[in-house]
Amino acid sequence: MYLMRFLNKKILYSLTILICLFSCNSKQSTDSSQEESTENLKTQRVFFKWPRDGSTVSSPVYIDMGLEGMLIEPAGPVKEGYGHHHILINQTHWPKGSVIPTSDSTLHYGKGQTDVSLDLLPGEYVLTLQFADGVHTSFGKEMANSITVIVE
């Protein structure tokens, strides 16, 4: 009987220690994943996944748009941390706080698109990926990325 109580206390004590260790360990991994998540939100940038800067491509030019630190959402109400892509042709960025108009050289992807194929005539182009909010107000140079491509 004494041995049984002793073993039960020992098992209970061991289980308590294990629970504490695992709960502390999972808390640390949760904290570090939250820190990584917060870190990613601090680094805001747009980039071309494809094509690469200096690429020679053929028309239609497939473009794959990347984003870090913000979320893509179709055009509409302005929400903090959200927006959508625009491609500027032969321009380096759109001024921060200015609405990007629709034209042949300022293309809107207000449905939340992240890739597109563009029909471009042969020649050299500067393509700029510009991020803007729900009403197309530019986030400026900080959220723009330019590449040069040659279309054959």
Please tell me whether the overall predicted TM-score, pTM, comes out greater than 0.85 for this model. no
Strands 61-68, 45-50: parallel, antiparallel or unpaired by DSSP?
antiparallel
Residue 3: the pLDDT is 46
On whether both 113 and 61 belong to a single domain, the answer is yes
On whether both 142 and 80 belong to a single domain, the answer is yes
On whether both 37 and 48 belong to a single domain, the answer is no
On whether both 64 and 138 belong to a single domain, the answer is yes
Work out how many domains the chain is built from and give that number. 2
On whether both 37 and 63 belong to a single domain, the answer is no
Residue 7: the pLDDT is 47
Q: Which domain holds residue 1?
A: 1-42
pLDDT in tens, 86-132: 999 999 999 999 999 999 999 999 999 999 999 999 999 999 999 99
Evaluate the omega torsion of the peptide bond into residue 101 and state whether it is cis, within 30 degrees of 0: no
Which residue type occupies 78? V
On whether both 66 and 121 belong to a single domain, the answer is yes
CATH of the domain at 87: 2.60.40.10
On whether both 48 and 29 belong to a single domain, the answer is no
Radius of gyration of the chain (CA): 26
On whether both 86 and 146 belong to a single domain, the answer is yes
On whether both 7 and 20 belong to a single domain, the answer is yes
